[in-house]
Homo-oligomer: A and B are copies of this chain.
Protein backbone atom coordinates (compact mmCIF):
# COMPACT_ATOMS: atom_id res chain seq x y z
CA UNK A 1 0.00 0.00 0.00
CA UNK A 2 1.66 3.25 -1.04
CA UNK A 3 2.01 5.92 1.59
CA UNK A 4 -0.09 8.80 0.24
CA UNK A 5 1.92 11.43 2.09
CA UNK A 6 5.28 10.42 0.73
CA UNK A 7 5.30 9.42 -2.92
CA UNK A 8 8.96 9.38 -3.64
CA UNK A 9 10.48 9.57 -0.18
CA UNK A 10 11.17 13.28 -0.43
CA UNK A 11 13.88 13.99 2.16
CA UNK A 12 11.94 16.95 3.54
CA UNK A 13 8.43 15.44 3.38
CA UNK A 14 8.00 15.57 7.17
CA UNK A 15 8.73 19.28 7.13
CA UNK A 16 6.65 19.99 4.01
CA UNK A 17 3.45 17.93 3.67
CA UNK A 18 2.58 17.30 0.01
CA UNK A 19 -0.48 17.44 -2.20
CA UNK A 20 -1.17 13.74 -2.80
CA UNK A 21 -1.09 12.18 -6.28
CA UNK A 22 -0.04 15.41 -7.97
CA UNK A 23 3.38 16.12 -9.50
CA UNK A 24 5.04 18.57 -11.85
CA UNK A 25 7.31 17.83 -14.79
CA UNK A 26 9.54 20.59 -16.12
CA UNK A 27 10.95 20.90 -19.63
CA UNK A 28 13.84 23.35 -19.20
CA UNK A 29 15.05 24.52 -22.60
CA UNK A 30 18.21 26.38 -23.51
CA UNK A 31 19.73 27.40 -26.86
CA UNK A 32 23.43 26.79 -27.51
CA UNK A 33 25.50 26.36 -30.68
CA UNK A 34 22.37 26.36 -32.85
CA UNK A 35 20.87 23.53 -30.81
CA UNK A 36 17.76 23.56 -28.66
CA UNK A 37 18.75 21.67 -25.52
CA UNK A 38 16.76 20.19 -22.66
CA UNK A 39 17.93 19.56 -19.10
CA UNK A 40 17.73 15.90 -18.01
CA UNK A 41 18.62 14.05 -14.79
CA UNK A 42 20.39 10.68 -14.49
CA UNK A 43 19.15 8.53 -11.61
CA UNK A 44 21.69 7.26 -9.05
CA UNK A 45 23.64 4.15 -10.06
CA UNK A 46 21.75 3.84 -13.34
CA UNK A 47 21.97 4.96 -16.95
CA UNK A 48 18.29 6.00 -16.74
CA UNK A 49 17.33 9.62 -17.49
CA UNK A 50 14.20 11.64 -16.76
CA UNK A 51 12.89 15.19 -16.71
CA UNK A 52 13.25 17.31 -13.57
CA UNK A 53 10.10 17.52 -11.51
CA UNK A 54 8.54 16.72 -8.17
CA UNK A 55 5.53 17.06 -5.91
CA UNK A 56 3.70 20.22 -4.81
CA UNK A 57 3.79 21.17 -1.14
CA UNK A 58 0.56 21.91 0.72
CA UNK A 59 1.81 25.39 1.57
CA UNK A 60 2.88 26.55 -1.91
CA UNK A 61 0.97 27.31 -5.10
CA UNK A 62 1.43 25.03 -8.10
CA UNK A 63 3.29 27.82 -9.93
CA UNK A 64 5.52 28.42 -6.88
CA UNK A 65 6.37 24.70 -6.85
CA UNK A 66 7.44 24.94 -10.51
CA UNK A 67 9.62 27.98 -9.76
CA UNK A 68 11.15 26.19 -6.75
CA UNK A 69 12.01 23.08 -8.79
CA UNK A 70 13.50 25.17 -11.59
CA UNK A 71 15.56 27.20 -9.14
CA UNK A 72 16.84 24.01 -7.49
CA UNK A 73 17.88 22.49 -10.84
CA UNK A 74 19.27 25.61 -12.57
CA UNK A 75 20.11 28.17 -9.90
CA UNK A 76 17.95 30.69 -11.79
CA UNK A 77 15.09 32.89 -10.59
CA UNK A 78 12.55 34.64 -12.76
CA UNK A 79 12.49 32.16 -15.58
CA UNK A 80 9.94 32.29 -18.35
CA UNK A 81 7.68 29.51 -17.20
CA UNK A 82 4.56 28.25 -18.92
CA UNK A 83 2.01 25.60 -17.93
CA UNK A 84 1.24 23.71 -21.14
CA UNK A 85 -0.69 20.51 -20.35
CA UNK A 86 -1.99 18.24 -17.60
CA UNK A 87 -1.04 14.59 -18.05
CA UNK A 88 -3.98 12.84 -16.41
CA UNK A 89 -4.33 9.35 -17.85
CA UNK A 90 -5.05 6.56 -15.36
CA UNK A 91 -2.11 4.51 -16.67
CA UNK A 92 0.68 6.74 -17.94
CA UNK A 93 3.52 4.16 -18.08
CA UNK A 94 4.51 0.71 -16.88
CA UNK A 95 4.67 1.23 -13.13
CA UNK A 96 6.04 -2.20 -12.27
CA UNK A 97 8.98 -1.69 -14.61
CA UNK A 98 9.74 1.70 -13.04
CA UNK A 99 9.48 0.37 -9.49
CA UNK A 100 11.94 -2.38 -10.37
CA UNK A 101 14.42 -0.10 -12.14
CA UNK A 102 14.48 2.43 -9.30
CA UNK A 103 14.05 0.15 -6.29
CA UNK A 104 17.59 0.90 -5.03
CA UNK A 105 16.58 4.58 -4.80
CA UNK A 106 12.87 4.45 -3.91
CA UNK A 107 11.10 1.77 -1.87
CA UNK A 108 8.65 0.12 -4.34
CA UNK A 109 5.96 0.28 -1.64
CA UNK A 110 6.16 4.08 -1.58
CA UNK A 111 4.87 4.84 -5.08
CA UNK A 112 1.35 6.10 -5.65
CA UNK A 113 -0.92 3.89 -7.68
CA UNK A 114 -1.47 6.95 -9.85
CA UNK A 115 -0.27 10.54 -10.14
CA UNK A 116 -1.50 13.42 -12.28
CA UNK A 117 1.31 15.57 -13.65
CA UNK A 118 1.20 19.23 -14.64
CA UNK A 119 3.67 20.03 -17.41
CA UNK A 120 5.63 23.32 -17.46
CA UNK A 121 8.22 24.50 -19.90
CA UNK A 122 10.88 27.07 -19.13
CA UNK A 123 13.09 29.00 -21.53
CA UNK A 124 16.42 29.87 -19.99
CA UNK A 125 19.74 31.51 -20.83
CA UNK A 126 21.95 28.45 -21.34
CA UNK A 127 25.10 30.24 -20.23
CA UNK A 128 23.66 31.18 -16.84
CA UNK A 129 22.46 27.71 -15.76
CA UNK A 130 24.30 25.60 -13.16
CA UNK A 131 22.76 22.14 -13.73
CA UNK A 132 22.19 20.48 -10.33
CA UNK A 133 20.84 16.97 -9.65
CA UNK A 134 18.18 16.28 -6.99
CA UNK A 135 18.10 13.79 -4.08
CA UNK A 136 17.45 10.80 -6.36
CA UNK A 137 19.83 11.60 -9.18
CA UNK A 138 23.57 12.04 -9.64
CA UNK A 139 23.88 13.95 -12.88
CA UNK A 140 22.07 16.89 -14.46
CA UNK A 141 22.98 17.54 -18.08
CA UNK A 142 21.89 19.30 -21.27
CA UNK A 143 20.79 17.10 -24.17
CA UNK A 144 20.25 18.14 -27.78
CA UNK A 145 16.48 17.99 -28.29
CA UNK A 146 17.03 16.03 -31.51
CA UNK A 147 18.98 13.36 -29.64
CA UNK A 148 17.01 12.48 -26.51
CA UNK A 149 17.51 8.96 -25.11
CA UNK A 150 14.65 6.67 -24.06
CA UNK A 151 13.50 8.31 -20.81
CA UNK A 152 11.83 6.95 -17.69
CA UNK A 153 8.06 7.32 -17.12
CA UNK A 154 6.15 8.98 -20.00
CA UNK A 155 8.75 11.71 -20.31
CA UNK A 156 9.50 11.30 -24.04
CA UNK A 157 5.78 11.87 -24.64
CA UNK A 158 5.76 14.90 -22.33
CA UNK A 159 8.65 16.46 -24.29
CA UNK A 160 6.79 15.87 -27.57
CA UNK A 161 3.69 17.62 -26.23
CA UNK A 162 5.79 20.48 -24.83
CA UNK A 163 7.41 21.09 -28.22
CA UNK A 164 4.01 21.10 -29.94
CA UNK A 165 2.81 23.70 -27.43
CA UNK A 166 5.97 25.76 -27.90
CA UNK A 167 5.59 25.71 -31.71
CA UNK A 168 2.00 26.88 -31.45
CA UNK A 169 3.05 29.55 -28.98
CA UNK A 170 5.54 30.83 -31.59
CA UNK A 171 2.63 31.66 -33.89
CA UNK A 172 1.01 34.09 -31.47
CA UNK A 173 3.64 35.05 -28.88
CA UNK A 174 7.18 36.31 -29.23
CA UNK A 175 9.93 33.98 -28.08
CA UNK A 176 13.61 34.63 -27.65
CA UNK A 177 13.91 36.74 -24.54
CA UNK A 178 15.72 34.55 -21.96
CA UNK A 179 16.89 32.17 -24.72
CA UNK A 180 19.20 34.62 -26.52
CA UNK A 181 21.89 36.95 -25.18
CA UNK A 182 20.82 40.58 -24.72
CA UNK A 183 22.17 41.57 -28.14
CA UNK A 184 21.80 39.26 -31.11
CA UNK A 185 21.75 39.30 -34.90
CA UNK A 186 18.70 38.59 -37.07
CA UNK A 187 20.28 35.34 -38.36
CA UNK A 188 20.71 34.20 -34.73
CA UNK A 189 17.06 34.89 -33.94
CA UNK A 190 16.04 33.12 -37.14
CA UNK A 191 18.08 30.04 -36.21
CA UNK A 192 16.30 29.90 -32.85
CA UNK A 193 12.91 29.94 -34.59
CA UNK A 194 14.05 27.37 -37.14
CA UNK A 195 15.33 25.09 -34.39
CA UNK A 196 12.04 25.19 -32.50
CA UNK A 197 9.90 24.85 -35.64
CA UNK A 198 12.14 22.14 -37.05
CA UNK A 199 12.29 23.67 -40.55
CA UNK A 200 14.06 26.43 -42.47
CA UNK A 201 12.51 29.85 -42.98
CA UNK A 202 12.99 32.37 -45.74
CA UNK A 203 15.29 35.12 -44.32
CA UNK A 204 13.47 38.02 -45.99
CA UNK A 205 10.00 36.90 -44.85
CA UNK A 206 11.31 36.22 -41.38
CA UNK A 207 12.92 39.65 -41.11
CA UNK A 208 9.73 41.36 -42.33
CA UNK A 209 7.53 39.39 -39.93
CA UNK A 210 9.68 40.10 -36.88
CA UNK A 211 9.99 43.80 -37.76
CA UNK A 212 6.24 43.97 -38.26
CA UNK A 213 5.67 42.71 -34.73
CA UNK A 214 7.73 45.58 -33.37
CA UNK A 215 9.38 43.36 -30.77
CA UNK A 216 13.00 44.07 -31.74
CA UNK A 217 14.97 47.27 -32.26
CA UNK A 218 18.12 47.60 -34.33
CA UNK A 219 21.20 48.94 -32.57
CA UNK A 220 23.78 51.21 -34.19
CA UNK A 221 26.46 48.57 -33.83
CA UNK A 222 27.22 45.48 -35.89
CA UNK A 223 28.50 42.07 -34.81
CA UNK A 224 32.23 42.60 -34.22
CA UNK A 225 35.14 40.90 -35.90
CA UNK A 226 35.44 39.72 -39.44
CA UNK A 227 33.52 40.36 -42.57
CA UNK A 228 32.86 43.70 -44.22
CA UNK A 229 29.12 42.96 -44.25
CA UNK A 230 28.90 42.10 -40.54
CA UNK A 231 25.23 41.84 -39.49
CA UNK A 232 23.54 44.49 -37.34
CA UNK A 233 22.86 43.76 -33.70
CA UNK A 234 19.30 43.85 -32.32
CA UNK A 235 17.73 43.73 -28.92
CA UNK A 236 14.19 43.08 -27.79
CA UNK A 237 11.83 46.00 -27.22
CA UNK A 238 10.76 44.81 -23.79
CA UNK A 239 7.54 46.85 -23.57
CA UNK A 240 6.21 45.62 -26.92
CA UNK A 241 7.41 42.10 -26.16
CA UNK A 242 5.59 42.05 -22.81
CA UNK A 243 2.44 43.45 -24.40
CA UNK A 244 2.44 40.64 -26.95
CA UNK A 245 3.00 38.04 -24.23
CA UNK A 246 -0.23 39.24 -22.64
CA UNK A 247 -2.33 40.05 -25.70
CA UNK A 248 -1.13 37.52 -28.21
CA UNK A 249 -0.82 38.30 -31.87
CA UNK A 250 -4.49 38.86 -32.63
CA UNK A 251 -4.28 39.06 -36.33
CA UNK A 252 -7.86 40.20 -36.94
CA UNK A 253 -7.87 43.94 -37.33
Contact = CB atoms under 8 A, between A and B. Distances in A.
Contacts of A113: 58
Interface string A87-130: 01110000000000000000000000110101000000000000
A85 interface: yes
Contacts of A209: 251-252
A56 interface: yes
Contacts of A249: 171, 251
A202 interface: yes
A83 B91 CA distance: 19
Interface in A119-164: none
A202 B252 CA distance: 9
A19 B201 contact: no
B22 A116 contact: yes
Contacts of A253: 201-202, 205
Contacts of A58: 90, 113-114
Contacts of A56: 88, 116
B62 A116 contact: yes
A45 interface: no
Contacts of A89: 61-62
A15 to B, nearest CB: 16
B22 A59 contact: no
A235 interface: no
18 contacts: A21-B22, A59-B90, A61-B89, A62-B88, A62-B89, A65-B88, A83-B86, A86-B86, A86-B118, A88-B118, A167-B248, A168-B248, A170-B252, A171-B172, A171-B249, A171-B250, A193-B252, A201-B253
